[in-house]
Amino acid sequence: MIPTASPADFRVTLDVVRGCLLGLALGDALGAPHEGGLLERLVWRVVGRTRLGERRWTDDTQMTLDVVESLLARGAVHQDDLARRFARSQHWSRGYGPGAARVLGRIRRGDSWEHASRSVYPEGSFGNGAAMRAPILGVVYACDAESLDDAVTRSAVITHAHPLAIEGALIVARATAAAAMGLAMREHIEHAADGAALAPYRARLRIAADWLSQNTSVPIATVRDQLGNGIAAVDSCVTALYLAVSRLDSPFMTLHEAAVALGGDVDTISAMAGAIWGARHGGAALPAEPLASLEDRDRLERLASDLARIDWSRSGDGPRR
Ligand SMILES: [Mg+2]
């Protein structure tokens, strides 16, 4: 299959930005009630709706909004600004992991992000917190692979400096870019498998590529066993990519159903898969009913419009920290 767009002639449209941003938030909000153990689910039954009855989203969407607002304010990934925004936005009711909450608490109390991150995780966190906020960077920098990798890495290391966390974020962002550009996704995953720096990603991407080439329906228990469903980046990034690509020609809600059946870190896997699906099909293809009851929809729409107004292909060397 021939790619329908090359990086050189791809331009980010409002529909693609909306698809990615709203697809992520919708996947997150729909997945959140199904995430975690009994206690987490009971808590979410209390805090999972706003006073207006809207479906609340979690840390995945909050950190993505922090990335977008920082990008708009600074014109590029500005690590100090982004760290301050992450820290300011963090609230227990958004379901941040305990490690991320400790890092962000330290930053809020005046610690540098470099020190805060390393004092909680000396080797860097290998959770999926960097990958969950990476899809929008994939869309913004879709036509510039170098700027994409640079932006995703700079965003990741603030809280997730472990090589597994960074590579997971890169895999998710590059896949979102490929989806936005209309590239053949099975081939993209094959290239990603060949080019992956770390063996666990090479192995999982190869499994996903093989399943897609066989074009058969893989039982969800097999997906869980072979690709994972946990909060580690290596146990969720390829899983989300596979869910999105294997259901790219199916309605958005089939993604959600698969993520729920998979279990584990449902909101993050559903958010990343939703962002990839949304980047491919655009915001207009997202299901109207859950979208109508999504928390802070106006803010998401406004930020999508503001992002889409800027030609990010020319901003790779924008202001930095
Ligand atoms: Mg979450």
How remote is the CA of residue 63 from the centroid of ligand 1, in Å? 10
Give CA 137 to chain center in angstroms: 9
How remote is the CA of residue 36 from the centroid of ligand 1, in Å? 10
How remote is the CA of residue 10 from the centroid of ligand 1, in Å? 31
How remote is the CA of residue 3 from the centroid of ligand 1, in Å? 33
Mean of pLDDT values over 78-90: 98
How remote is the CA of residue 293 from the centroid of ligand 1, in Å? 18
User: At 5, is the pLDDT very low, low, confident or very high (cuts 50, 70, 90)?
Assistant: low
DSSP 152: H
How remote is the CA of residue 266 from the centroid of ligand 1, in Å? 8
Give CA 242 to chain center in angstroms: 14
- Is residue 11 pLDDT above 90, yes or no? no
How remote is the CA of residue 59 from the centroid of ligand 1, in Å? 5
How remote is the CA of residue 128 from the centroid of ligand 1, in Å? 10
- 194-249 pLDDT, tens per residue? 999 999 999 999 999 999 999 888 999 999 999 999 999 999 999 999 999 999 99
Helices (H), the chain: 14-31, 38-47, 59-74, 79-89, 98-108, 113-120, 135-140, 145-156, 163-180, 185-195, 199-214, 220-227, 237-246, 252-262, 266-281, 288-292, 297-308
3-state secondary structure of 277: helix
Q: What integer pLDDT is reported at residue 36 of this predicted model? A: 78
Contact 11, 130 (CB under 8 A): no
- 293-309 pLDDT, tens per residue? 999 999 999 999 999 99
How remote is the CA of residue 310 from the centroid of ligand 1, in Å? 28
Mean pLDDT, all residues of the chain:
93
d(CA 269, CA 277): 12
How remote is the CA of residue 317 from the centroid of ligand 1, in Å? 31
How remote is the CA of residue 175 from the centroid of ligand 1, in Å? 20
How remote is the CA of residue 85 from the centroid of ligand 1, in Å? 17
Mark 223-242 as b/e (b = at least 16 C-beta within 10 Å): bbebbbbbbbbbbbbbbbbb
d(CA 12, CA 287): 22
How remote is the CA of residue 205 from the centroid of ligand 1, in Å? 23
How remote is the CA of residue 92 from the centroid of ligand 1, in Å? 11
How remote is the CA of residue 295 from the centroid of ligand 1, in Å? 14
Taking only Cα atoms into account, the Rg of the chain, rounded to an integer number of angstroms, comes to 18
How remote is the CA of residue 50 from the centroid of ligand 1, in Å? 16
Give percent above pLDDT 90 in the chain: 84
Contact 128, 97 (CB under 8 A): no
Mean of pLDDT values over 54-77: 97
User: At 6, is the pLDDT very low, low, confident or very high (cuts 50, 70, 90)?
Assistant: low
d(CA 290, CA 280): 19
How remote is the CA of residue 1 from the centroid of ligand 1, in Å? 35
3-state secondary structure of 127: strand
Helices (H), 263-314: 266-281, 288-292, 297-308
User: At 138, is the pLDDT very low, low, confident or very high (cuts 50, 70, 90)?
Assistant: very high
- 148-196 pLDDT, tens per residue? 999 999 999 999 999 999 999 999 999 999 999 999 999 999 999 999 9
- CA distances from residue 28 to 6, 14, 202 in whole angstroms, order as listed: 30, 21, 26
Domains of the chain: 14-311 (1.10.4080.10)
User: At 320, is the pLDDT very low, low, confident or very high (cuts 50, 70, 90)?
Assistant: very low
Residues with C-beta atoms within 5 A of ion ligand 1: 58-60, 95, 267
Q: At what angle do helices 79-89 and 98-108 cross, to 10 degrees?
A: 110
- 19-55 pLDDT, tens per residue? 999 999 999 999 999 987 888 888 888 888 888 899 9
Contact 232, 127 (CB under 8 A): yes
- Is residue 79 pLDDT above 80, yes or no? yes
Mean of pLDDT values over 139-150: 95
